[in-house]
A and B are shown apart, each in its own frame.
Chain A
Amino acid sequence: MMTIFLFMFLMAQAAAPQIIAPGVGNLADRGPKIDMNKAKAFNPPRTEFGHPDLEGIWQPRASGAAFSVLPHSGGFFLGQGSETGIVEGGVLPYQAWAAEEVRYRREHVELDPTGHCHYEGIPHALYFTFQIFQTPTKIAFVHENMHAWRIVYLTGDHPKDYSAWMGDSRGRWEGNTLVVDVTNNSDKSVFDMAGHFHSDQLRVVERYTLQDANTLIWEATLTDPKVFTRPVKMRFPLVRAPKDFAIMESGCFEDERDQAHLKGAALPANHYNEEHEKEKK
């Protein structure tokens, strides 16, 4: 597995994102167009307890955000370039010192925590397929990638003295929109592989709204007074997965740094390497 990630790093470096101005180039951003008027007019199905029903498996159309949240050219295994990225205006308003840090991290892709199988955090975890389960008091987001999950509580307050890769999520319904306030974020998670980072002061206010039965709109306002000069807005659409889809197991285990210890052990790394070798033949 390490081999695969090493490969990822090298490829990522080779294809370090070249930021291009919005509107430049002819890269098509895939996915349905977000139409807030349509979303406002849509009367969503309801759960048996009367909440808008967002349950199901959702596949993001996040314009290659895992690679970079900003406009970027294509390449690498995540592949798709994007004229727009997912950030409104195509710019992250980093403070001067933080812009320097972004440049450093872009040159050190090996620092990317997801390459070591760590949690992605919010919003990063949302760039990959996940499933929503709702109850009257809590909503579970179950992610395939990194076998992560998050519970959005519709009750209670953010805890004190708690820091988490996935943050602490408190949600509420505003009309047909699920609004989630994510705080207690660790400064260890990152926005993408292009060096875009945040501090432990990151606060993400997410808004989930159905545009039609098979399209979910994700919007977010991100504030981080330690690294940004102003709030940042992000958004992208998600589409309902085909009926035969299921959230499977992702055997990516944290901090996989020492292949030597994995060799010869009854461990996943061998298995994947063997499979990988087989595939190559």
Chain B
Amino acid sequence: MMSAVAFGQTAYKVARTSDGKPDLQGIWIARNTASFDVTEIAEDPTIPYLPEALEREAKADRVDPIAHCAMPGVPRITYMPFPFEIMQRPGYVVLLYEYLHNHRVIQTTPREHAEGIDLFLGDSIARYEGDTLVIDVTNLGNRTWLDSARHMHSDQLHVVERYTRTAPDRMLYEATLEDPQTYSKPWKIRMTLHRINEPGFELKEQECVEGDDGRAIHPLYRPASKS
């Protein structure tokens, strides 16, 4: 359907970092509601669930894990409706998320994925393919949801994220989700990330406070709190 080229402006040429990588640095935000229902950004709105996975899902807990202040997992962290900052350094891509101060420190040195450990935000390995930053994510566990609509995955989930700048203030975000225990075939999500250019815009601190009923009380967006 939409290739990175068709999606943006064909004439756009991404700037390069001092070590020659496509420069994705800046503050970005997804302006959509995919964190409530991921099918909004799915290539095919019907997620190819295996029957047994649907059964598992029907029996599963009803409370969105992020209601308990848990990390939202990958790819969900990318479409949480809060800004995040990308920094690139030789050997590293650093993603700092305003949403509940999550972070991902990702090495670009090739290596094998970790074994025998589940992480909420997974084990990420980054590489560059032309103008695209590709992040390969495994070890995601089965304790995160893709959205509040209870689209789930197993601990076999393998996500390949692709970040491609298509215009000065636009980035194409694509991710392929593969999970042989949950989906009958790999499927894709795709959305635009918007660069925040407002002068002096900085990420603020966000903390999660779990309420008495165990549901998260998220702070109002970018609160000007007075202690």
Contacts and interface: CB of A to CB of B under 8 A. Distances in A.
Interface of A: 48-49, 55, 118-119, 131, 133-135, 140, 142, 146-149, 151, 153, 156, 161-166, 186-188, 200, 246-249, 251, 253-258, 260-262, 264-268, 271
Given A149-B96, A165-B207, A267-B70, A140 B87 contact: yes
A261 B203 CA distance: 31
23 contacts: A133-B89, A135-B25, A135-B87, A135-B89, A142-B103, A151-B202, A162-B225, A163-B226, A164-B225, A186-B227, A246-B105, A246-B107, A248-B119, A249-B119, A251-B70, A262-B214, A265-B61, A267-B65, A267-B68, A268-B70, A271-B118, A271-B141, A271-B143
Contact of A258 (B87, B121, B202, B210): B210
Contact of B105 (A131, A135, A153, A187): A131
Given A133-B92, A153-B202, A267-B61, 8 more contacts: A119-B205, A135-B89, A163-B225, A164-B205, A253-B68, A255-B208, A258-B210, A265-B68
B96 A151 contact: yes
Contacts of B121: 249
B214 A55 contact: no
A161 B226 contact: yes
Contacts of A267: 61, 65, 68, 70, 143
Interface of B: 18, 25, 60-61, 63, 65, 68-71, 85, 87, 89, 92, 94, 96, 100-103, 105, 107, 118-121, 141-143, 200, 202-205, 207-210, 212-214, 224-227
A142 B104 CA distance: 9
Nearest to B102: A147
B16 to A, nearest CB: 13
Contact of A48 (B18, B25, B214): B18
Given A133-B87, A133-B89, A147 B65 contact: no
A236 B87 CA distance: 28
A142 B94 contact: yes
Contacts of B70: 251, 253, 267-268
B105 A142 contact: yes
- Summarize B's interface: helix, strand, loop or mixed: loop
A254 B61 contact: no
A135 B94 CA distance: 12
A162 B224 contact: yes
Contacts of A266: 60-61, 65, 142-143
A213 to B, nearest CB: 17
B143 A268 contact: yes
A49 B226 CA distance: 37
A164 B96 CA distance: 16
Nearest to A271: B143
Contacts of B203: 151
B183 to A, nearest CB: 18
Contacts of B25: 135
Contacts of A200: 227
Nearest to B107: A246
Given A142-B105, A163-B227, A147 B210 contact: no
B89 A55 contact: yes
- A-B CB proximity, top 6 nearest: A261-B214, A164-B205, A253-B69, A255-B210, A163-B227, A161-B224
Contacts of B142: 266
Contacts of B118: 271
A256 B67 CA distance: 12
A165 to B, nearest CB: 6
B71 A147 contact: yes
Which of A119, A162, A264 gathers the greatest number of chain B CB atoms within 10 Å? Answer: A162
B226 to A, nearest CB: 6
Nearest to A262: B68
A249 B212 CA distance: 26
